[in-house]
A and B are shown apart, each in its own frame.
Chain A
Protein backbone atom coordinates (compact mmCIF):
# COMPACT_ATOMS: atom_id res chain seq x y z
CA UNK A 1 0.00 0.00 0.00
CA UNK A 2 1.18 3.51 -0.81
CA UNK A 3 -0.88 4.87 2.10
CA UNK A 4 -1.84 8.54 1.75
CA UNK A 5 -0.33 10.35 -1.21
CA UNK A 6 -0.40 14.08 -1.95
CA UNK A 7 0.48 16.11 -5.01
CA UNK A 8 2.14 18.46 -5.63
CA UNK A 9 4.91 18.55 -2.99
CA UNK A 10 5.55 22.25 -3.50
CA UNK A 11 3.69 25.07 -5.22
CA UNK A 12 4.01 28.83 -5.53
CA UNK A 13 0.85 30.75 -6.40
CA UNK A 14 0.19 34.38 -7.16
CA UNK A 15 -2.54 36.20 -5.24
CA UNK A 16 -5.92 35.47 -6.80
CA UNK A 17 -4.88 32.29 -8.59
CA UNK A 18 -6.64 29.01 -7.93
CA UNK A 19 -5.39 25.47 -7.55
CA UNK A 20 -6.37 22.01 -6.39
CA UNK A 21 -4.33 20.00 -3.93
CA UNK A 22 -4.72 16.32 -4.61
CA UNK A 23 -5.01 13.61 -1.97
CA UNK A 24 -5.52 9.89 -2.45
CA UNK A 25 -5.48 6.86 -0.16
CA UNK A 26 -5.43 3.17 -1.01
CA UNK A 27 -6.37 1.76 2.39
CA UNK A 28 -10.14 1.76 1.80
CA UNK A 29 -10.59 4.31 4.56
CA UNK A 30 -13.96 5.95 5.02
CA UNK A 31 -12.78 9.12 6.78
CA UNK A 32 -10.50 11.70 5.17
CA UNK A 33 -9.26 15.05 6.45
CA UNK A 34 -7.44 18.18 5.36
CA UNK A 35 -5.24 20.08 7.82
CA UNK A 36 -3.04 23.12 7.50
CA UNK A 37 0.12 23.66 9.53
CA UNK A 38 1.47 27.17 9.89
CA UNK A 39 5.13 27.66 10.92
CA UNK A 40 5.71 26.67 14.54
CA UNK A 41 2.05 25.82 15.05
CA UNK A 42 -0.06 22.72 15.41
CA UNK A 43 -2.38 21.35 12.78
CA UNK A 44 -5.79 22.89 12.20
CA UNK A 45 -8.62 21.00 10.54
CA UNK A 46 -9.94 22.60 7.35
CA UNK A 47 -12.50 20.05 6.08
CA UNK A 48 -13.26 16.41 6.60
CA UNK A 49 -15.33 13.66 5.02
CA UNK A 50 -16.88 10.55 6.55
CA UNK A 51 -17.53 8.89 3.21
CA UNK A 52 -18.06 9.46 -0.49
CA UNK A 53 -20.47 12.32 -1.07
CA UNK A 54 -20.29 13.59 2.53
CA UNK A 55 -18.12 16.52 3.59
CA UNK A 56 -18.18 18.96 6.49
CA UNK A 57 -16.32 22.02 7.70
CA UNK A 58 -13.58 21.92 10.25
CA UNK A 59 -12.08 24.73 12.30
CA UNK A 60 -10.70 26.89 9.44
CA UNK A 61 -12.75 26.27 6.25
CA UNK A 62 -12.89 29.82 4.83
CA UNK A 63 -11.24 30.14 1.42
CA UNK A 64 -11.33 26.40 0.70
CA UNK A 65 -13.66 23.87 -0.87
CA UNK A 66 -13.63 20.09 -1.01
CA UNK A 67 -15.40 17.27 -2.76
CA UNK A 68 -15.48 13.51 -2.20
CA UNK A 69 -16.76 11.70 -5.26
CA UNK A 70 -14.88 8.45 -4.53
CA UNK A 71 -13.64 6.68 -1.41
CA UNK A 72 -10.03 7.09 -2.54
CA UNK A 73 -9.79 10.79 -3.44
CA UNK A 74 -10.33 13.96 -1.45
CA UNK A 75 -9.14 17.07 -3.34
CA UNK A 76 -8.87 20.50 -1.69
CA UNK A 77 -9.63 23.54 -3.82
CA UNK A 78 -8.33 27.08 -3.29
CA UNK A 79 -10.35 29.48 -5.44
CA UNK A 80 -8.74 32.88 -4.83
CA UNK A 81 -5.35 32.37 -3.23
CA UNK A 82 -4.37 34.83 -0.51
CA UNK A 83 -1.05 35.25 1.36
CA UNK A 84 -2.80 34.01 4.52
CA UNK A 85 -3.10 30.61 2.84
CA UNK A 86 0.66 30.16 2.76
CA UNK A 87 1.08 26.99 4.78
CA UNK A 88 1.86 23.29 4.67
CA UNK A 89 -1.22 21.22 3.90
CA UNK A 90 -1.62 17.68 5.13
CA UNK A 91 -4.20 15.16 4.08
CA UNK A 92 -5.04 12.27 6.43
CA UNK A 93 -7.34 9.27 6.49
CA UNK A 94 -8.77 6.79 8.97
CA UNK A 95 -10.94 3.73 8.63
CA UNK A 96 -13.64 5.15 10.91
CA UNK A 97 -13.85 6.23 14.56
CA UNK A 98 -14.19 2.87 16.26
CA UNK A 99 -11.54 1.75 18.71
CA UNK A 100 -8.57 0.13 16.90
CA UNK A 101 -9.57 1.57 13.51
CA UNK A 102 -9.59 5.28 14.26
CA UNK A 103 -5.88 6.03 13.78
CA UNK A 104 -5.32 8.90 11.37
CA UNK A 105 -2.59 8.33 8.79
CA UNK A 106 -1.00 11.40 7.25
CA UNK A 107 0.37 12.12 3.82
CA UNK A 108 3.76 13.82 3.25
CA UNK A 109 2.26 17.29 2.82
CA UNK A 110 2.09 20.05 0.21
CA UNK A 111 4.05 23.23 0.88
CA UNK A 112 2.14 26.17 -0.60
CA UNK A 113 3.41 29.73 -0.89
CA UNK A 114 1.15 32.57 -2.04
CA UNK A 115 2.95 35.71 -3.21
Chain B
Protein backbone atom coordinates (compact mmCIF):
# COMPACT_ATOMS: atom_id res chain seq x y z
CA UNK B 1 0.00 0.00 0.00
CA UNK B 2 0.85 3.67 0.00
CA UNK B 3 3.48 5.00 2.40
CA UNK B 4 3.86 8.72 3.11
CA UNK B 5 6.83 10.18 4.96
CA UNK B 6 6.85 13.76 6.24
CA UNK B 7 9.75 15.98 7.35
CA UNK B 8 10.56 17.68 9.58
CA UNK B 9 8.56 16.49 12.57
CA UNK B 10 8.98 19.88 14.27
CA UNK B 11 9.77 23.27 12.76
CA UNK B 12 10.33 26.53 14.59
CA UNK B 13 10.48 29.81 12.65
CA UNK B 14 10.44 33.50 13.44
CA UNK B 15 7.34 35.45 12.56
CA UNK B 16 7.63 36.71 8.99
CA UNK B 17 9.97 33.93 7.87
CA UNK B 18 9.01 31.17 5.46
CA UNK B 19 8.32 27.55 6.40
CA UNK B 20 8.68 24.50 4.17
CA UNK B 21 7.38 21.02 4.93
CA UNK B 22 8.21 18.09 2.66
CA UNK B 23 6.52 14.76 2.00
CA UNK B 24 7.42 11.74 -0.09
CA UNK B 25 5.07 9.02 -1.24
CA UNK B 26 5.62 5.51 -2.53
CA UNK B 27 2.72 4.74 -4.90
CA UNK B 28 3.38 6.29 -8.31
CA UNK B 29 -0.34 5.93 -9.10
CA UNK B 30 -1.35 8.38 -6.35
CA UNK B 31 -3.15 11.35 -7.89
CA UNK B 32 -4.36 13.62 -5.09
CA UNK B 33 -2.32 15.31 -2.36
CA UNK B 34 -4.10 17.37 0.30
CA UNK B 35 -2.57 19.28 3.20
CA UNK B 36 -4.39 19.57 6.52
CA UNK B 37 -3.87 21.93 9.45
CA UNK B 38 -4.76 20.69 12.92
CA UNK B 39 -5.07 23.15 15.78
CA UNK B 40 -4.92 21.98 19.37
CA UNK B 41 -7.99 20.00 20.36
CA UNK B 42 -9.59 20.19 16.92
CA UNK B 43 -9.98 17.99 13.88
CA UNK B 44 -7.79 18.42 10.78
CA UNK B 45 -8.91 21.09 8.33
CA UNK B 46 -8.00 21.15 4.64
CA UNK B 47 -5.87 24.17 3.73
CA UNK B 48 -4.75 23.35 0.20
CA UNK B 49 -4.54 20.40 -2.17
CA UNK B 50 -2.93 19.53 -5.47
CA UNK B 51 -3.66 16.96 -8.14
CA UNK B 52 -1.23 14.99 -10.24
CA UNK B 53 -1.89 17.01 -13.41
CA UNK B 54 -0.60 20.21 -11.78
CA UNK B 55 2.93 21.10 -10.63
CA UNK B 56 2.17 24.01 -8.33
CA UNK B 57 -0.79 25.68 -6.66
CA UNK B 58 -0.98 28.88 -4.61
CA UNK B 59 -3.52 30.35 -2.25
CA UNK B 60 -2.40 33.65 -0.74
CA UNK B 61 0.53 32.84 1.61
CA UNK B 62 0.32 29.10 1.05
CA UNK B 63 1.68 27.15 -1.91
CA UNK B 64 2.13 23.48 -2.69
CA UNK B 65 4.50 21.96 -5.24
CA UNK B 66 4.44 18.46 -6.67
CA UNK B 67 7.25 16.51 -8.33
CA UNK B 68 5.72 13.32 -9.72
CA UNK B 69 9.01 11.97 -11.01
CA UNK B 70 10.65 12.15 -7.59
CA UNK B 71 7.37 11.34 -5.83
CA UNK B 72 7.51 14.23 -3.42
CA UNK B 73 5.42 17.29 -2.65
CA UNK B 74 5.97 20.27 -0.39
CA UNK B 75 4.00 22.91 1.51
CA UNK B 76 5.36 26.44 1.53
CA UNK B 77 4.08 29.09 3.93
CA UNK B 78 5.40 32.61 3.44
CA UNK B 79 5.28 35.54 5.86
CA UNK B 80 4.41 33.24 8.74
CA UNK B 81 2.20 34.52 11.53
CA UNK B 82 1.68 33.22 15.09
CA UNK B 83 -1.75 31.87 14.07
CA UNK B 84 0.02 29.56 11.60
CA UNK B 85 1.29 27.60 14.61
CA UNK B 86 -0.32 24.15 14.41
CA UNK B 87 0.34 20.57 13.30
CA UNK B 88 0.34 20.12 9.53
CA UNK B 89 -0.33 16.81 7.82
CA UNK B 90 0.27 15.81 4.23
CA UNK B 91 -1.64 12.95 2.63
CA UNK B 92 -1.76 11.01 -0.60
CA UNK B 93 -4.59 9.17 -2.31
CA UNK B 94 -4.17 6.19 -4.60
CA UNK B 95 -6.38 5.25 -7.51
CA UNK B 96 -8.84 3.11 -5.53
CA UNK B 97 -11.63 4.65 -3.48
CA UNK B 98 -11.03 7.94 -1.68
CA UNK B 99 -8.74 6.64 1.04
CA UNK B 100 -5.99 8.95 2.21
CA UNK B 101 -2.65 7.84 3.64
CA UNK B 102 -1.30 10.48 6.02
CA UNK B 103 2.22 11.54 6.86
CA UNK B 104 3.31 11.65 10.50
CA UNK B 105 2.72 15.40 10.88
CA UNK B 106 4.86 18.51 11.41
CA UNK B 107 4.48 20.71 14.45
CA UNK B 108 5.07 24.28 13.27
CA UNK B 109 5.82 26.93 15.87
CA UNK B 110 5.93 30.55 14.79
CA UNK B 111 7.67 32.74 17.35
CA UNK B 112 6.52 36.36 17.57
The smallest beta-carbon distance between A50 and chain B, in angstroms, is 7
Of the listed stretches A13-21, A65-73, A79-87, A90-98, name the one at the interface; the rest are far from the partner chain: A90-98
Which residues of the other chain, A, contact B105 by a CB distance below 8 angstroms?
40-42
Q: Is the CB of B46 within 8 A of A103?
A: yes
Count B interface residues, CB 8 Å.
26
Which residues of the other chain, A, contact B36 by a CB distance below 8 angstroms?
106
Count A interface residues, CB 8 Å.
28
Asked if B45 CB lies within 8 Å of chain A CBs, one says yes
Q: Which residues of A in the span 3-19 have a Cβ within 8 Å of any Cβ on B?
A: 4
Chain A positions within 8 Å of B, measured between CB atoms, are 4, 31, 33, 40-45, 48, 50, 56, 58-59, 90, 92, 94, 96-97, 99, 102-109
Further pairs besides A106-B43, A109-B42: 10, Cβ < 8 Å: A31-B98, A41-B104, A42-B89, A48-B97, A58-B99, A59-B101, A90-B44, A99-B51, A103-B46, A105-B46
